[in-house]
Chains A and B, each alone.
Chain A
């Protein structure tokens, strides 16, 4: 069964600090991996998307990395801000061609405190 596991489940950090969120997946074959940010009670917003041939992708203070061999991805947040408090969801797509199965992780809940 295809799975996407994220760690930690929750994280509290001080404003201005960096943090790294992890995503391990078993989806195979693999098409692409996307990280979303979801504010409480709001819809997820895409941060980055990477295909199997990409190792890293940045979006401002967010940098995602991907190791397709070990099936691991990470999302690094630099110089955190209070507005970074949210859930971060890792989503992996299955094989290319036709409909592609999408598997969601449960997410990491990040809280940035002053």
Chain B
């Protein structure tokens, strides 16, 4: 079954304690991205990756890191979490975009990770 898998689904942590949220896709997609979703603000992009070893900042990258060492995995790293990073996080993947393609980005989303930083 084609899917994007995030782990963990729920996480409560303390301020300053480094954590990693994993994301894996089994569709051989080149493009992957991370979003956070907060009430009244909708989905906002944190980081994205066009391919292995190619990553770039989205709209709200502060306080986050990512890596893309292999095509299927795109972990999100919070080196020193703070309470304002309490949010619902989504990983997404899609085929590589190009001129004329209609599929576009963000075709498949993971089930989400609800993070609480106290």
Q: Which residues of B contact A106 (CB under 8 A)?
A: 40-42
Determine how close the nearest CB of chain B comes to the CB of A50; give it in whole angstroms.
8
Q: Is the CB of B50 within 8 A of A99?
A: yes
Q: Which residues of B contact A28 (CB under 8 A)?
A: none
- Which range holds the interface residue count of chain A? 20 to 34
A86-114 contacts to B, CB under 8 A, are: 89, 91, 93, 96-97, 99-100, 102, 104-107
Q: Is the CB of B104 within 8 A of A31?
A: yes
Q: Which residues of A contact B44 (CB under 8 A)?
A: 104
- Which range holds the interface residue count of chain B? 20 to 34
Q: Is the CB of B112 within 8 A of A42?
A: yes
Q: Is the CB of B56 within 8 A of A99?
A: yes
Determine how close the nearest CB of chain A comes to the CB of B59; give it in whole angstroms.
9
Q: Which residues of A contact B109 (CB under 8 A)?
A: 43-45
Determine how close the nearest CB of chain B comes to the CB of A58; give it in whole angstroms.
16
Q: Which residues of B contact A89 (CB under 8 A)?
A: 42-43
Determine how close the nearest CB of chain B comes to the CB of A63; give it in whole angstroms.
18
The residue in B104, B105, B107, B111 that gathers the most chain A C-beta atoms within 10 A of its C-beta is: B104
A89 to B43, CA, bound (A): 9
